[in-house]
């Protein structure tokens, strides 16, 4: 089984719809992250969580919200999706200062 | 402001033609510099972490080096399967960005047989 799982892997939705992307991990890491990747812009941090009760905004949090349901689960929500949120979304986990381990990604298209 | 710049944006090599990718950085106290490989449509895959100037690490045809201002990823005698986007990221000290990684935009490497 994969260490970091993201669902769905692909999603096409319409402007204004609420979307939730889910991430779960079996690595036992405390820290979890949501990144967005756009062509030519690299990976940008949306939100991060150091434990269940600690959630922080990253570089580009506007239009997004998150929920850390358990140590192993971290969800990203788009309350009202817009076309410029079309991107690849990656969940990552780490243990303290160790390297982040990335999930396989979710390709989101907002029409 | 912490920043990472990778060059070139794209690099095309013939199989066996060695070259280097550059990662220049400015950061308020470097805790670590990371190299990842990313294949199309997949998540980044960890390659190396470097912590101090002068450090070098190797894995198969890849060798990463670090100075106080930049890192190089040297690719020796590349093969087509080395084709991917290579990402560089820096981790600043915990009192800066809480230790989160700051990524460059990547270098897309294509190796032709």
Tens-digit pLDDT profile for residues A33-75: 999 999 888 899 999 998 899 999 998 999 999 999 999 999 9
Residues of chain B found within 8 Å of residue A3, distances taken between Cβ atoms:
none
The mean pLDDT value of chain A amounts to 93
Q: For position A96, what pLDDT does the model report?
A: 72
Statement: residue B97 has pLDDT above 60: no
Task: Name the residue with higher pLDDT: B102 or B74.
Answer: B74
In terms of C-beta density within 10 A (0-12 exposed, 13-18 middle, 19 or more buried), how is residue B25 classed?
A: buried
What share of chain B in percent tops pLDDT 90?
A: 81
Q: What is the mean pLDDT of residues B5-33?
A: 95
In this complex, which of B42, B49, B103 lies closest to A43 when CB atoms are compared? B103
Could you give the count of Cα atoms lying within 13 Å of B2 in the half-sphere of its Cβ? Answer: 24
**B41 and A CB contact within 8 Å:** yes
pLDDT at B96 over 60: no
The answer on pLDDT for A1 being more than 60 is no
Tell me what pLDDT residue B95 has.
52
Q: What share of chain A is helix, strand, coil (3-state, %, to 5)?
A: 5, 60, 40
User: Is A97 within 8 Å of chain B by CB?
Assistant: yes
- B31 in reach of chain A (CB within 8 A): yes
Q: Is pLDDT at B75 greater than 90 in this prediction?
A: yes
Q: Is the pLDDT of residue B28 over 60?
A: yes
Mean pLDDT (whole number) for B97-104:
78
The one-character DSSP state at B78 is: -
Q: Name chain B contacts of A103, Cβ cutoff 8 Å.
A: 43
Whether A97 sits inside 8 A of B45 (CB atoms) is: no
Which among B31, B41, B42 has CB closest to A97? B31
Interface contact B99, partner A, CB < 8 A: yes
> Closest residue of B to A93, CA-based?
B100
Percent of chain B with pLDDT over 70: 95
Band of pLDDT at residue B98, cut at 50, 70 and 90? low
The pLDDT, as a whole number, for residue A32 is 94
Residues of B with CB below 8 A from A4's CB?
43
pLDDT at B99: 67
What pLDDT is recorded for position A70?
A: 94
């Amino acid at each position: 089984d994969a260490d970091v799982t993201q669902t769905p892997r692909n999603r096409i939705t319409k402007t204004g719809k609420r979307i939730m992307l889910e991430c779960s991990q079996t690595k036992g890491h405390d820290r979890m992250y949501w990144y967005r990747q756009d062509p030519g812009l690299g990976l940008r941090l949306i939100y991060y969580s150091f434990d269940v009760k600690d959630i922080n905004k990253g570089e580009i949090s506007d239009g997004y919200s998150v929920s850390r349901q358990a140590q192993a689960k971290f969800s990203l929500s788009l309350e009202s999706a817009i076309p410029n949120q079309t991107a690849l979304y990656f969940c990552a986990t780490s243990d303290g200062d160790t390297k982040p381990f990335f999930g396989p990604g979710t390709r989101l298209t907002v029409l | 402001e912490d920043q990472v710049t990778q060059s070139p944006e794209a690099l095309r090599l013939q199989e066996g033609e060695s070259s280097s990718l550059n990662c220049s950085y400015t950061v308020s106290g470097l805790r670590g510099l990371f190299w990842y490989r990313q294949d199309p449509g997949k998540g980044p895959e960890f390659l190396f972490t470097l912590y101090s100037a002068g450090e070098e690490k190797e894995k198969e045809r890849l060798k990463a080096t670090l100075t106080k201002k930049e890192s190089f990823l040297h690719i020796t005698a590349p093969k087509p399967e080395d084709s991917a986007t290579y990402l560089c990221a820096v981790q600043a000290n915990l009192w800066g960005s809480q230790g989160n990684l700051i990524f460059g935009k990547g270098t897309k490497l294509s190796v032709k047989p």
